[in-house]
A and B are shown apart, each in its own frame.
Chain A
Amino acid sequence: MAYFVDQFVNGLTLGAVYGLIAIGYTMVYGIIGMINFAHGELFMIGAFISLIVLLLLAQLGVASVPVAILITLVLSAAFTALWGYVVERIAYRPLRGAMRLAPLISAIGMSILLQSFVQLVQGAGQKSLAPMITGRVVVGELDGQPVEIAVVRIVIIAVTLVLMTAFSLFVARTSFGRAQRACEQDQKMAKLLGINVDRVISLTFVSGAVLAAVAGLLYTVYYGSIDFFIGFLAGLKAFTAAVLGGIGSLPGAMLGGLLIGLIEVFWAGYATAEYKDVAVFAILVLVLLFRPTGLLGRAVVEKV
């Protein structure tokens, strides 16, 4: 039982990171009906910016871990948001109204561009960060054994929960959220009613990038080893999570992320680590076969 709890927490941690990235995919899809394949790269850039800021802060003598992480969070989110804005501005906006395939190909090009850029300026090797948050807390007892959870895992899960809640409220309650949902439903109508659609789409990319930056920071602090290629697999898994939960659905992305994390860890923990990615993607295939709209997705009515 303790083993189960242990693996469950492992899965939650991993799933939290996937969920944060998945929100970016699902929101962009919701508003312009396009898969932003460069989103995984924004996560990677967020991780790199976090690492650079953390190392700089350590150089400057910022000894308090929470302060360092908070400053990094703000800076990484700001810079990654800028990247998100620029990517949308130069790679997608000029293609608005073009055939559906054009922005998709542009996205793949952007993904390769960002990867190669980071590879060139940062080198292809792994960059590492010594463990910052150590220690564990005992949360209870099972079978006479104490159940411990690493503090860093609690931080990751807590940050993710807070962010997801805040973000859901943001979309549900604020005027930007309303404008965003309006654009999702009918862009032309929204424009007629005086909503600046381009601005809303830009902001959607920016908020997705902010969440990806947070995921990048958590990833860097937890694993302590990043390279220019981490965005690829993490992006693919997060995309799978978004589709599993129902692409376009915000709670779906969160649920999908958690499920993917749990499937991966339980597969590796109870079966074999060898085929865990196969398990994840097999589930994606099954969901698409039997429930094409995903777990929480609504059936899309084709507008004629």
Chain B
Amino acid sequence: MKMSAKKALAGVCMLALLAGATAARADVTIALGIPATGGQIAALGAQAKLGAETAVAAINAKGGINGEKIDLQIADDQCDPKNAVSAANQVVSRGIKFVLGHLCSGASIAASDVYNDEGVLMLTASATAPDLTERGHPLVFRANGRDDQQGSVGGKFIAEKFKDKRIAIVDDKQVYGQGLAREAGKVLAAAGIKPVYVGTINAGERDYSALVSRLKDEKVDVVYFGGYHTELGLIVRQARQAGLDTRFIGADGIAANEFWSVAGEGGAGTLFTFSADAKDKPSAQEAYAELKKGGEPDNFAFYYYAAAQTLAKAIADAGKDPEKVAEKLKSESFDTIVGTFRFDAKGDLVDPEYVVFEWRDGKYAPTKL
């Protein structure tokens, strides 16, 4: 069964090659920038490929884009910025105008420079580094949350659930943590909540007792923390030792088992934002059934499916000119299997969906608060 499918695929490829120029003109070619080879990360690439291919198959089965079939071509970047540049150059030399990906932040940033120069539109569904869309490239889009957008989700959560508590904001002065804390602070300020303490720590240190005493002195109930699990684990440990039962809220940097092994039982109740699991969404069930045929899909598969849907819809509405497609992406909203996508002027997803998780007994699960 598998064998014959492969043979059929090979046959199709041969035909496509023979058909050559004529076929390319009639189809909409989209490149998929992923690490197709190269170590562990290739497993994530396979997920993205599964998602994008399943979506393209579904769209083509329904008649493609205004009658034209989508032709998906893999651009292998091995998750490496250098390889991403050569992969991007190949995409450009093949005359492809639309790219899904790249998967990794570093590779996406490197490739986006090439695409920007050559007028190619790219839409990633996994690169989280804020820098990708911060450099003013008009054709770069992202269908997933940015590192710093989680901050506003965390801030909103505090504003809703801990409105009358004494709030503090602490960050580690690094790009990720600072971005989180800044966004959380903005949301709190908009909600009229003034933190009783705003401070920073030095990442990589061990002794945070001065901070803990400060939080104790200010009688802080809830701390929004922008940073990683290494530092928060130590802070929580030292806080519990000092008899401080403040609740901490962080972001996906806290989703690591080492947090629990340093913080110990005192880590219970610590909250953090993390991407929602697409598997549980009613809107994704039909696609889930299709995706499962290619193995158990994770969030990457679902989000690349949704990105392919979005791109196809935008091309269908605006035609094959990348600039027009970009305008379309920025001006409309797109229904996908994981929810509705809207993009802001930078090309970032508006209100990406995050869920608040809670640590308990060495594991984390969506919070019941």
B210 touches A7 (CB 8 A): yes
A126 vs B233: C-alpha distance when bound (angstroms): 12
B333 touches A (CB below 8 Å): no
B266 within 8 A of A: yes
In the complex, per-residue mask of B252-263: 1 if CB is within 8 Å of any chain A CB, else 0: 000000100110
CB pair A225 B233 closer than 8 Å? yes
Interface contact A223-B240, CB-CB below 8 Å: no
Q: Return the contact of A269 from the options B173, B213, B266 (Cβ within 8 A).
A: B213
Query: Which residue of the partner chain, among B201, B207, B265, contacts A223 with CB atoms under 8 Å?
Result: B207
Complex alpha-carbon distance, A134 and B241, angstroms: 6
The answer to whether B264 has its CB under 8 Å from any CB of chain A is yes
For A272, list chain B residues within 8 Å (CB). Answer: 199-200
**Residue of A13, A130, A152 with most chain B CB atoms under a 10 A cut-off:** A130
Contacts of A3 in B (CB 8 A): 213-214, 216-217
A148 to B230, CA, bound (A): 26
The CA-CA distance from A136 to B200 in the complex, in Å, is 27
Residues of B within 8 A of A152 (CB): 241
Give the shortest distance, in Å, between B238 (CB) and chain A (any CB): 8
Q: How far is A117 from B210 in the complex, measured between Cα atoms in Å?
A: 33
**Residues on B with beta carbons closer than 8 Å to the beta carbon of A265:** 207, 209-210
Contact A131 B264, CB 8 Å, known A6-B216, A225-B234:
yes
Is A274 an interface position by the 8 A CB rule? yes
Instruction: Report yes or no: B262 in contact with A128, Cβ–Cβ below 8 A.
Output: yes
Question: Interface size of A by Cβ–Cβ distance < 8 Å?
Answer: 31
Residue A210 is within 8 A (CB to CB) of chain B in the complex: no
Considering the complex, which residues of chain A in the window 239-266 have a beta carbon less than 8 Å from any beta carbon of chain B? 264-265
Q: Please report the C-alpha to C-alpha distance between residue A40 and residue B12 in the assembled complex, in whole angstroms.
A: 65
Which secondary structure characterizes the binding site on chain A? helix
- Interface residues in B198-255 by Cβ distance below 8 A to A read 199-202, 206-207, 209-211, 213-214, 216-217, 230, 233-234, 237, 240-243
Q: Which of B211, B262, B266 contacts A273 (CB 8 A)?
A: B211
Residues of A within 8 A of B173 (CB): 274
Check if A2 is an interface residue, CB within 8 A of chain B.
Answer: yes
- Are B210 and A268 in contact, with the CB atoms below 8 A? yes
A14, A131, A148, A274: the one contacting B200 at CB < 8 Å is A274
Q: How far is the CB of A223 from chain B (nearest CB, A)?
A: 5
In this assembly, does A116 line the interface, its C-beta being within 8 Å of a C-beta of chain B? no
Set of chain B residues within 8 Å of A268, measured between Cβ atoms: 210-211
In the assembled complex, the Cα of A265 lies from the Cα of B214 at a distance in Å of 11
CB <8 Å contact, A223 and B206 = yes
Q: Which listed residue (A153, A223, A230, A276) contacts B234, Cβ 8 A?
A: A223
Residues of A close to B199: CB separation below 8 A: 272-273
CA gap between A88 and B50 in the complex, in Å = 60
Which residues of chain A in 1-16 are interfacial with respect to chain B, using CB atoms and an 8 Å cutoff?
A: 2-3, 6-7, 10, 13-14
The docked-state distance in angstroms from the alpha carbon of A274 to that of B234 is 18
Answer whether residue A177 sits at the interface, using C-beta atoms and an 8 A cutoff: no
Check A148 against B243 for contact (C-beta < 8 Å): yes
In the complex, A134 Cα to B294 Cα: how many Å? 50
The interface residues of chain A lying within 8 Å CB-to-CB of B242 are 6, 136, 148, 150
Binary interface encoding of chain B residues 168-204 relative to chain A, with 1 for a CB under 8 A from any of its CBs, else 0? 0000010000000000000000000000000111100
Residues on B with C-beta less than 8 A from A131 are 237, 240-241, 264-266
Give residues in A with beta carbon < 8 Å to B: 2-3, 6-7, 10, 13-14, 126, 128, 130-131, 134, 136, 148, 150, 152-153, 219, 223-225, 230, 264-265, 268-269, 272-274, 276-277
User: Which B positions have Cβ atoms within 8 angstroms of A?
Assistant: 173, 199-202, 206-207, 209-211, 213-214, 216-217, 230, 233-234, 237, 240-243, 258, 261-262, 264-266
| 25 CB < 8 A contacts A-B | A2-B217, A6-B216, A7-B210, A7-B213, A10-B213, A126-B230, A128-B233, A128-B261, A128-B262, A130-B265, A131-B264, A131-B266, A136-B243, A148-B243, A153-B241, A219-B206, A224-B264, A225-B230, A225-B233, A230-B206, A264-B207, A265-B207, A268-B210, A273-B210, A274-B200
